[in-house]
């Protein structure tokens, strides 16, 4: 599946959060460049890429090798929540029904 997120964090900050977050899952970093990371493990494979977009935004894109709403996909979304918390620690996340 493909997931994306826009944040005000810099690409370097996003990658630092990724390097701390994904190893807490049973995933290990298997490849990296200045703007990408690849993590693999029992849950599957995850490719993360970041790029500057429109001035002060960073576009974060995640591709997983899983079909449907897998555990890896749910953790990719949890990673986006971590990015949001780092960008705006005072914001309280709540359901909007």
* Residues 41-93 pLDDT 10s: 999 999 999 999 988 899 999 999 998 889 999 999 999 999 999 999 888 77
Count of structural domains within the chain: 1
Domain hosting 35: range is: 18-43+50-87
Predicted TM-score (pTM) above 0.85: yes
Q: How far is CA 38 from the centre of its chain?
A: 11
Quick check: 5 pLDDT over 80?
Answer: yes
Q: Give a yes or no: residue 7 inside a domain.
A: no
Domain contains 79: yes
**Nearest-angstrom CA–CA distance, 10 and 68:** 30
- Asked whether residue 1 is assigned to any structural domain, the reply reads no
In angstroms, the first-to-last Cα distance of the chain is 26
């Amino acid at each position: 599946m493909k997931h994306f997120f826009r944040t005000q964090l810099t690409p370097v900050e996003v990658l630092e959060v990724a390097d701390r977050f994904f190893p807490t899952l049973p995933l290990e970093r298997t490849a990296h460049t200045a703007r990408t990371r690849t993590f693999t493990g029992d849950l599957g494979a995850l490719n993360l890429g970041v790029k500057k977009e429109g001035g002060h935004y960073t576009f974060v894109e995640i591709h997983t090798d899983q079909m449907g709403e897998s555990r890896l996909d749910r953790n990719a979304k949890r990673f986006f929540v971590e990015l949001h918390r780092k960008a705006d620690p005072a914001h309280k996340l709540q359901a909007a029904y």
